[in-house]
Structure 1
């Protein structure tokens, strides 16, 4: 379709830098996994079917500089997560073939208006108002996946003003990357450019203006960002 056929100029494609390259990874959609670590709950071995929700591609920003403090919240919270970048689409992908669809990995923040999320949970409403605001997905440069090398373990951590709040290991995920990709692809056809944020370990807490956040995942990426001024409601 010619650009002249559009009734207005399309929105610029969201993208992320690629580690060690001048290229950028174009973002299609952002899928998020609701719970993928044990938060002090029972570890009986019974796994509930993963709950997915979405953020718009426009929520994705580079994990650097200053973050806007969003409107409509008193509990602006951090959630450090492994991000899987899909490079090849597919539908009903098997667990055995799932990693063939991965282009790379990154560390990301699923920033959350947690008070809105708790209110939505209480009445069974969708989480998007709590999750899908502007700039709610700061993500490090994508680390390309080497053939046959996909992270199954490695420290995942986050600190605020030098005090550690979250720490776990990728091997503690309830659902592996292969399982997450396969399960999601049985619901929707995955596309090249899709991102999957794979859940956060315990230690989620509120942020304040001026807080400095450091975080990362061993072998994948690290970041430092600062919380800016609260936006007027």
Structure 2
């Protein structure tokens, strides 16, 4: 007899580039601002601000992405994704990269109108960020294959037209700094993902749009936006 009151979810996993193995997803942490956007906030290096998405928000890139309900401003954000392989709390910057299993390119999709309303009211961002399918992510590339990339183009196109372009070296907070800061607040666990912020160029998507995005040296992903519900 099963000890569970109902069958537990099988869990979320991601492809591993060049392997039949799967990367099991635990939690998803996101960094709110990590590139210069050319506004007043760029004048001072502000402390990193983190929020979360559930593991169920992760979608293996490819195929069709549902246009989410309750929004008319569904926006794209291309981001470097850090896949944690070894957990720990209060991780020093000097050893933070030892906790990284691999990297991927991913999208932090946002219901921007809900986010702006939440900001104005001083409310949490969950409704804007944590919906189903809000984190399409490409295959995870092991550190053993690519090391720890700290440079390379970060880009996104919609229907073949470029909307976002920057480079990893433009990030305000390095991966080692992000891991160290986050681990001071909560102990990291194997399988955690950290989405490290998006460059400027964020804009709205429409049903039928095809998103192509990637990070040079890490990987690319593509998804098509489905119809409004």
TM class by shorter chain equals over 0.9
**What residue number does 2:109 align with?**
111
**What residue number does 2:52 align with?**
54
Please point out which of 2, 6, 16 is paired with 1:8. 6
**What residue number does 1:81 align with?**
79
Report the TM-score, using the length of structure 2 for normalisation: 0.97
Please point out which of 61, 69, 72 is paired with 1:71. 69
**What residue number does 2:203 align with?**
205
**What residue number does 2:221 align with?**
223
Please point out which of 12, 15, 22 is paired with 1:17. 15
**1:123-162 superposed matches below 5 A:** 123-146=121-144, 149-162=147-160
Deviations 1:166-220 (A, max 9, x none): 0000000000000000000000000000000000000000000100111000011
The alignment's C-alpha RMSD in Å is 1.2
**What residue number does 1:37 align with?**
35
Deviations 1:97-132 (A, max 9, x none): 000000000000000000000000001100010000
CA gap of 1:17–1:148, structure 2 versus 1, over 3 A, is closer
Q: Which has the higher helix share?
A: 2
List runs of 5+ in structure 1 lacking aligned partners: none
Corresponding residue SS for 1:165: strand
**What residue number does 1:189 align with?**
187
Tell me which moved more, 3-12 or 217-226: 3-12
List runs of 5+ in structure 2 lacking aligned partners: none
Aligned length: 228
CA positional deviation for 1:93: 0.1
User: Matches of 1:9 and 1:160 in 2, distance apart?
Assistant: 39
Deviations 1:45-98 (A, max 9, x none): x31111100000000011101100000000000000000000000000000000
